[in-house]
Amino acid sequence: MSANRRCEVGQPICHYDNQCCLTTSWTNNNPGRRFWGCAHYGVRRGCAFFEWYDPQVCERSKIVICGLLK
């Protein structure tokens, strides 16, 4: 199955044929960026499906968001 397949509401389907969850990254490199990930994403031996949801945040926004998180 292709990782790019989407269901009717626009959510991607993971490698295990499950709808993905929209999550927000709070890392220093990608603060505030949203991504689609399987409900088992990041779990040991879980599904590794990952897809960015929105365009990359500009450098100034990264600085501001990281400052707000401190």
pLDDT of 4-41, one tens digit each? 444 445 788 888 888 888 888 888 888 888 888 887 77
Q: Estimate to the nearest angstrom the gap between the alpha carbon of 33 and the chain centroid.
A: 7
User: How far apart are the C-alpha atoms of 34 and 65, rounded to whole Å?
Assistant: 14
34: number of Cβ within 10 Å: 12
Quickly tell me which residue has 């295990």 as its tokens.
Answer: 16
Residue 58: predicted pLDDT = 87
Task: Quote the pTM value.
Answer: 0.60
Residue pLDDT, tens place only, 40-69: 776 777 788 889 987 677 889 888 988 888
Residue 6: predicted pLDDT = 44
Secondary structure element (H or E) that encloses residue 34, with its range: strand 34-37
